[in-house]
């Protein structure tokens, strides 16, 4: 991977998706199945509902954590 190429990595579990990026930019994440809600745990906001994929714009040199599951469980994650 060259220095000018964007770098990002993901770690996921059944209901959590962690993303780190060096370069930032718009990213599309394809999920293994439809989820009721995609929730940004750091910004505390719902990004999408009833989706199998979602788009986000990531800041350079940032890490994010998304919950992808049942909306009724969001309060237990705060």
Does 51 map to a domain? yes
Gap between the Cα atoms of 78 and 74, Å rounded: 7
| pLDDT single digits (tens) 7-58 | 556 676 889 999 999 889 999 999 999 999 999 999 999 999 999 999 999 9
Its pTM stands at 0.83
Domain presence at residue 61 = yes
Query: Does residue 1 fall inside a structural domain?
Result: no
- Specify the higher pLDDT residue, 77 or 51: 51
26: in domain: yes
pLDDT at residue 1, as a whole number: 35
Query: How high is the pLDDT of residue 9?
Result: 66
Note the helical H segments in 1-78.
74-77
The CATH number of residue 17's host domain is 2.60.40.1180
Q: Which SS3 state, helix, strand or coil, does residue 60 take?
A: coil
């Amino acid at each position: 991977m060259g220095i000018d190429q964007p770098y990002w990595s993901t770690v996921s579990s059944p209901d959590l998706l962690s993303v780190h990026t060096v370069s930032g930019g718009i990213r599309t994440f394809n999920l293994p199945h439809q989820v009721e809600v995609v929730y940004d745990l750091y910004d505390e906001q719902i990004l999408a509902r009833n989706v199998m994929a979602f788009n986000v714009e990531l800041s350079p040199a940032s890490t994010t954590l998304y919950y992808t599951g049942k909306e009724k469980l969001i309060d237990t994650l705060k």
